[in-house]
Structure 1
Amino acid sequence: MFLSPACISQHTLPRVLNLALRQTAQQNIISSFTRQLRPTRPSLSTLSPLRAATATATATVEMASVQIPTATGGSERVPFSQLKGRIAPQLLQNIEKMGLTHMSPVQEQVLQMSSLKNDCLVQAKTGTGKTIAFLLPALQNILTAPDLQRDFVALLVLAPTRELAQQIADECDKLTGRTLDCHIAVGGTAKESRLKKFLNGKPTVLVATPGRLIDYLSEEETRHKLSKLRCVVLDEADRMLDQGFAPSIKRILQQIPKKQVAGWQGMCFSATVPNEIQQFLPLVLNKNHTRISTIDPNETPTVDRIPQSAIPIESISDALPVLHSYLMTQKKANPQLKAVIFSGTARHAGLLYHVFGPTGGAAPKGLPCFQMHSRLSQPARTRTIEEFKTAEAGLMFASDVIGRGMDFPDIDLVIQMGFPPEKAQYVHRVGRTGRAGKSGEATMILTPQEMRFVRVNKDFPIRVTEPFNHPDLPRSVTKIAEALEKVPEQTKNQAYTAFLGFNVTIARQLGLQPPDVVNLANDFAYSMGYEEIPEVEQKTVSKMGLKGVAGLRIQGKGVSRAAPGPNNRTGGGRAQGGPGRMQRGKVVDPRAGGGQNNYGGGGGGGGPAADGSNGGGNRSQGGSNNSRGGGNRRGPRESTGANAEEPSRKRPRRGAQV
């Protein structure tokens, strides 16, 4: 049940909480809530064919190669000290300074190849120490080369994201003690100044994302700097292909010295080896390359061993209060909670950070807040990554920039606000927790439309919980309402526009038509405390394919209207409104139900009151006159007028924020 500050009083709160306690006792939610969110872990035999194949992916490469058996982790770990005489003392000393004493399985297998100059194809997951595994042999060969020219790049590393590229560069600096210059070329930074520094410097190592390196290679001086390569590394090759970098990688390999001529060492690291990767292997690896796999074919994938759940909510306006109440529950169970909350857009992630972070202050006490998304500058992203890595507890509000490849230690919980458009995104998001064999859990907060994800993806072990009816939920409603009042208007406007655009892209998956998308976005706006929906630029509306759809406020033109007539109806209202709570951005008296309607359609009858008595609200007529149906909190129909051509976009009073 949802309340606003305007509705909570000394008289109503005890009654509401008593009702919630009765409901909770009946559903056994409070005493077993955490247990309910932990689904039965499936055995390998229950895996879907698709994910079972992914878990044991060992695609055959049509090249002669030396196969090293898969490491299962059963043997005792080998200390780095055993590499004396094989690795330069300088590198081993810096390894010790980094606090590393023993090799991970992937490091052990790569560093114990017959020759550290061998080409290799390595299957390894993120978070297994693979960065050290490819940097150590490459740097060893560079440092011991008698004819090293420091004006030229000797080691080129390609990575799919700027965050991963920065991580690799940082590790390189630690290993070398900055005795070799390591440069980075990624998007989101000042290209001209970075390029100038690169061309005027002595970059022995270059770590780059494919897109930005293509920009660099347009300069003849850059191609000259790369004319004496000794090693090329493709890190997370499968992910680079997933992100559409295949054409860029091909262009890069065509513009740097050919392997057959220059003879540089090639290393390819990838969690999986799909057929698409094979087309690059002859350009990067020689025929007699070493193939290594540290992925146990019998290991249960993270997505199968992590308890997963979905919390259903009645409408988008319930999302933030439920998130707040859920986090409070988790914080009580685990005072050192460390969680990642994923959003579908960067703007929504930023909104959540403002609500829960320093601006709104809604986060549980003792949990610092962080944000990570594409709208942040590269320095801000780098700083946030380091801070969250070292934090013992905290909340990270993020978009998919950290959905894969970023290794944050000790993540207890992953929460997804809404569902990801692709199954792979879901898998990688869930994979942020339970890393290195540790425990963790994942949940989703889903509207009725979004619950379709669970129904369609039955191969994922997602348990649908009971609706979240914690007795502290009214307090969360109040807290979120107060926090939203403090969030800058621009932040909320941007979140609304991004929400609208995102739902346009996933409308088919949700089973929504354009008018439904607009209605959903407007409900989202009301949930942020708007009395009137925000304006959207005409060109933005056109790009979204929403031109002519009723319900949008076009900048400088007012609310867009639909032509009158029954054909404009988007559907009738529900037969009965939900129990007393928030309806269409208005706070509803806890004793009265409210009908819920679709614009242009008739509203439903009043729902039951929160205390069990009958709520008011008659059925209203919509459609031909485009009036807005739906019972209000007291009973009579709330319409915009007998012959109104559009629904009112204003709420009846100021006091109702959510």
Structure 2
Amino acid sequence: MGSDGSKSGRKRRELRAKHLKKLTSEEDDSGNLVKDNNNRAPKRIRESESDNDEPLMKKSAASIKVVEADKPKSELAKTSDSYLSKTRFDQFPLSPLSLKAIADAGFKTMTVVQEATLPIILKGKDVLAKAKTGTGKTVAFLLPSIEAVIKSPPVSRGNKQPPIIVLVVCPTRELACQAATEANTLVKYHSSIGIQVVIGGTKLPTEQRRMQKAPCQILVATPGRLIDHIKNSSGFATRLMGVKVLVLDEADQLLAMGFRKDIERIIAAVPKKRQTFLFSATVPKEVRQICDIAMKPDHEFINCVQEGTDETHQKVTQMFMIASLDRHFSLLYGLLKEHIANNVDYKVIIFCTTAMVTKLVAELLGKLSLNVREIHSRKPQSYRTRVSDEFRKSKAIILVTSDVSARGVDYPDVSLVVQMGLPSDRDQYVHRLGRTGRKGKAGEGVLVLAPWEEYFLSSVKDIPITKSPLPPVDHEAVKRVKRGLSQVEMNSKEAAYQAWLGYYKSQKMIAKDTTRLVALANEFSRSMGLDIPPAIPRNVVSKMRLQGVPGIRTK
């Protein structure tokens, strides 16, 4: 094995990156996004896979009991939309050591999601839980998982392949690391319980050695790396035969990112006699299909989202601005200056369309002397983890990110979310916005669009987002931004231009007129301070099918 897995592993990761359009909006090495022409969920392609999905078994939905958590209960706070219930953790049969760790963490009462799911899970039932983001879903599945470990018989010291009791599968590295961090908080006083993480972007041999040396009753993993260990780590498949609890976190995202085949393999690799939890922000038919093969026929569906209520948090003020591309950078700078002046402990997340545009914006804001960090798919995992932890713990800080941070990642006290440019779809807008207004706190969201992106607003017309008038042009801010852009490296601008063109080539409403698309890309180029748009490699132009389009430059 190489330092980061086999060549096939690298190839697989490259192919996977091309299939993240809907939820991650990351570009491939060419800067253009790869689409599924049949509008189906993308497949996570491996060299050994065929293109055909295996048939799914169907089970009767009539046997599934539905628990509506949004119905009035005496223990709940004023309404079902409240983040917290009045139910205490010590009202349930949890380990005293777990309760002590919960108290140390500052948890006094359960969230609505925890209050709705925990009693059913503790009865041994399989559970599919639908809940809004930022409502305590991770603790909801970790607490009963820890109980399962505690109740398992002790393993003899001579056992060289001790069983993994709990397997948690997360769609992204960031979510996996976050879940493991929360798990370590909850097992603070359970000294014998070991928690480990296996994720892509780290060295497989290092993980293999750690899995051999350190205890691991709870394993948190991303699907691809988990499959790598099943195939290549000695004794790993045997250890999985001890799994008593399987958790699929953000199940809808796992499927939308093309992990269906991997999930089916993982389900097949663990014992049938187990308890299974699926937690998801949405429950489309694809999630229901996975329920059919992953869960018992009598599993319970717990809906913590009241029908007809807004998906976005009630305390988040949302507005949008329509401005020409040449104003976007100075407008962003002005928004940040105003927010910083009014919020001493500001914490801002700026979402950009692609990794390379993220890099460009982060460089620009750094030149403007703002306290900025960046996270995107082109950064190594160790860097992303370090920056994510720093942002989580800090105040007076700005994070510029691609959609790797859009969903599930818990950054406390985010005061402002800015979305620059067209979100990939309505759900992505909602999930990005969900980084603020978490745990019942107030927040603000701003969407900045160009006039030709205004059509997106029709997809969020049921969401309380209002138009904000553009502020007067701040000529001093414009000068500072222009000066900052002149200091940004040329290769960053070239990469951002190519990535921008690739992203909008994947947007049907814009890409149908390729001449106009290239003209808009060149407008973006001018907004970066370039008189002449960068040249793009001929093979990339060919991939984008833009050969001979007026305004495109090749090299």
Same fold (TM over 0.5): yes
- Tell me the residue number matched to 1:489: 490
For 2:270 and 2:88, locate their aligned partners in 1 and report how far apart those are by CA, in whole Å: 37
Q: TM-score, normalised by structure 1?
A: 0.67
1:213 lines up with 2:230 in the alignment: no
Classify the secondary structure of the residue corresponding to 1:404.
Answer: coil
Contact 2:69 2:116 in 1 (8 A): no
Offset of residue 202 of structure 1:
4.0
Contact 2:68 2:304 in 1 (8 A): no
1:77 lines up with 2:90 in the alignment: no
Select which of 352, 370, 373 maps to 2:361: 352
- Deviation per residue, 1:94-139 (Å, 9 max, x gap): 2233232322222233333484533222222332222222112111
- Deviation per residue, 1:161-180 (Å, 9 max, x gap): 11111111112222223532
For 1:291 and 1:514, locate their aligned partners in 2 and report how far apart those are by CA, in whole Å: 46
For 1:313 and 1:67, locate their aligned partners in 2 and report how far apart those are by CA, in whole Å: 46
- Tell me the residue number matched to 1:107: 114
For 1:530 and 1:146, locate their aligned partners in 2 and report how far apart those are by CA, in whole Å: 67
1:142 lines up with 2:149 in the alignment: yes
- Tell me the residue number matched to 2:397: 394
Contact 2:315 2:441 in 1 (8 A): no
Offset of residue 474 of structure 1:
0.7
Contact 2:130 2:303 in 1 (8 A): yes
- Please list, as runs of the form range in 1=range in 2, the aligned pairs for 1:146-295 lying within 5 A after superposition: 146-148=153-155, 151-177=162-188, 179-198=192-211, 201-219=214-232, 221-257=235-271, 259=272, 263-295=273-305
Taking structure 1 as reference, are residues 274 and 148 closer, same or farther at Cα in structure 2, changes over 3 Å only? farther
Classify the secondary structure of the residue corresponding to 2:200.
Answer: coil
Classify the secondary structure of the residue corresponding to 2:398.
Answer: strand
- Tell me the residue number matched to 1:478: 479
- Please list, as runs of the form range in 1=range in 2, the aligned pairs for 1:440-519 lying within 5 A after superposition: 440-454=443-457, 458-470=461-473, 473-506=474-507, 508-510=508-510, 513-519=513-519
Taking structure 1 as reference, are residues 489 and 303 closer, same or farther at Cα in structure 2, changes over 3 Å only? same
Offset of residue 147 of structure 1:
4.5
Contact 2:168 2:221 in 1 (8 A): yes
Residue type of the alignment partner of 2:225: R
- Tell me the residue number matched to 1:129: 136
- Tell me the residue number matched to 1:98: 105
The structure with the largest helix share of the pair is: 2
- Please list, as runs of the form range in 1=range in 2, the aligned pairs for 1:577-592 lying within 5 A after superposition: none
**Pair member with larger Rg:** 1
| Between 321-330 and 274-283, the greater mean CA deviation after superposition | 274-283
Contact 2:241 2:269 in 1 (8 A): no
For 1:110 and 1:146, locate their aligned partners in 2 and report how far apart those are by CA, in whole Å: 25
For 2:368 and 2:550, locate their aligned partners in 1 and report how far apart those are by CA, in whole Å: 36
Offset of residue 207 of structure 1:
0.9
Residue type of the alignment partner of 1:276: E
Offset of residue 71 of structure 1:
6.1
Contact 1:362 1:483 in 2 (8 A): no
Aligned sequence identity (%): 34
Contact 2:89 2:110 in 1 (8 A): yes
Contact 1:514 1:546 in 2 (8 A): yes
Residue type of the alignment partner of 2:88: P
Classify the secondary structure of the residue corresponding to 1:554.
Answer: coil
Residue type of the alignment partner of 2:510: L
Taking structure 1 as reference, are residues 336 and 282 closer, same or farther at Cα in structure 2, changes over 3 Å only? same
For 2:421 and 2:64, locate their aligned partners in 1 and report how far apart those are by CA, in whole Å: 46
Offset of residue 437 of structure 1:
3.4
Contact 2:176 2:221 in 1 (8 A): yes
1:309 lines up with 2:319 in the alignment: yes
- Please list, as runs of the form range in 1=range in 2, the aligned pairs for 1:399-414 lying within 5 A after superposition: 399-414=402-417
Classify the secondary structure of the residue corresponding to 1:131.
Answer: helix
Classify the secondary structure of the residue corresponding to 1:112.
Answer: helix
Classify the secondary structure of the residue corresponding to 1:302.
Answer: coil
Gaps of 5+ in 1: 1-59, 556-658
- Tell me the residue number matched to 1:89: 96
RMSD value over aligned CA atoms?
2.7
Taking structure 1 as reference, are residues 432 and 71 closer, same or farther at Cα in structure 2, changes over 3 Å only? farther
Classify the secondary structure of the residue corresponding to 1:500.
Answer: helix
| Between 161-170 and 179-188, the greater mean CA deviation after superposition | 179-188
Classify the secondary structure of the residue corresponding to 1:310.
Answer: strand
Contact 1:152 1:202 in 2 (8 A): no
For 1:174 and 1:333, locate their aligned partners in 2 and report how far apart those are by CA, in whole Å: 34
Contact 1:372 1:381 in 2 (8 A): yes
Classify the secondary structure of the residue corresponding to 2:62.
Answer: coil
Gaps of 5+ in 2: 1-59, 79-84
Taking structure 1 as reference, are residues 182 and 310 closer, same or farther at Cα in structure 2, changes over 3 Å only? same
Offset of residue 199 of structure 1:
5.0
| Between 532-541 and 456-465, the greater mean CA deviation after superposition | 456-465
Contact 2:328 2:448 in 1 (8 A): yes
| Between 161-170 and 120-129, the greater mean CA deviation after superposition | 120-129
Contact 2:66 2:303 in 1 (8 A): no
Residue type of the alignment partner of 1:245: F
Contact 2:240 2:269 in 1 (8 A): no
- Tell me the residue number matched to 2:41: none
For 2:331 and 2:523, locate their aligned partners in 1 and report how far apart those are by CA, in whole Å: 16
- Tell me the residue number matched to 1:336: 345
- Tell me the residue number matched to 1:533: 533
Offset of residue 209 of structure 1:
1.6
Classify the secondary structure of the residue corresponding to 1:77.
Answer: strand
1:318 lines up with 2:327 in the alignment: yes
Taking structure 1 as reference, are residues 115 and 81 closer, same or farther at Cα in structure 2, changes over 3 Å only? closer
Contact 2:130 2:304 in 1 (8 A): yes
Offset of residue 476 of structure 1:
1.1
Classify the secondary structure of the residue corresponding to 2:412.
Answer: coil
Taking structure 1 as reference, are residues 117 and 434 closer, same or farther at Cα in structure 2, changes over 3 Å only? same
Residue type of the alignment partner of 1:198: M
- Tell me the residue number matched to 1:558: none
Classify the secondary structure of the residue corresponding to 1:536.
Answer: coil
Q: TM-score, normalised by structure 2?
A: 0.79
Residue type of the alignment partner of 2:522: N
Taking structure 1 as reference, are residues 297 and 332 closer, same or farther at Cα in structure 2, changes over 3 Å only? same
Offset of residue 306 of structure 1:
4.0
- Tell me the residue number matched to 1:604: none
Contact 1:362 1:480 in 2 (8 A): no
Contact 1:304 1:461 in 2 (8 A): no
Contact 2:313 2:434 in 1 (8 A): yes
Residue type of the alignment partner of 1:284: A
Contact 2:194 2:215 in 1 (8 A): yes
For 2:164 and 2:231, locate their aligned partners in 1 and report how far apart those are by CA, in whole Å: 16
Taking structure 1 as reference, are residues 174 and 114 closer, same or farther at Cα in structure 2, changes over 3 Å only? closer
- Tell me the residue number matched to 1:415: 418
- Tell me the residue number matched to 1:614: none
For 2:116 and 2:69, locate their aligned partners in 1 and report how far apart those are by CA, in whole Å: 9
Number of equivalences:
480
1:300 lines up with 2:310 in the alignment: yes
Taking structure 1 as reference, are residues 499 and 114 closer, same or farther at Cα in structure 2, changes over 3 Å only? closer
- Deviation per residue, 1:4-61 (Å, 9 max, x gap): xxxxxxxxxxxxxxxxxxxxxxxxxxxxxxxxxxxxxxxxxxxxxxxxxxxxxxxx94
For 2:173 and 2:386, locate their aligned partners in 1 and report how far apart those are by CA, in whole Å: 13
Using CA pairs below 8 Å that are at least 6 residues apart, which structure has the higher relative contact order? Answer: 2
Taking structure 1 as reference, are residues 452 and 201 closer, same or farther at Cα in structure 2, changes over 3 Å only? same
Taking structure 1 as reference, are residues 336 and 97 closer, same or farther at Cα in structure 2, changes over 3 Å only? closer
Taking structure 1 as reference, are residues 171 and 514 closer, same or farther at Cα in structure 2, changes over 3 Å only? same
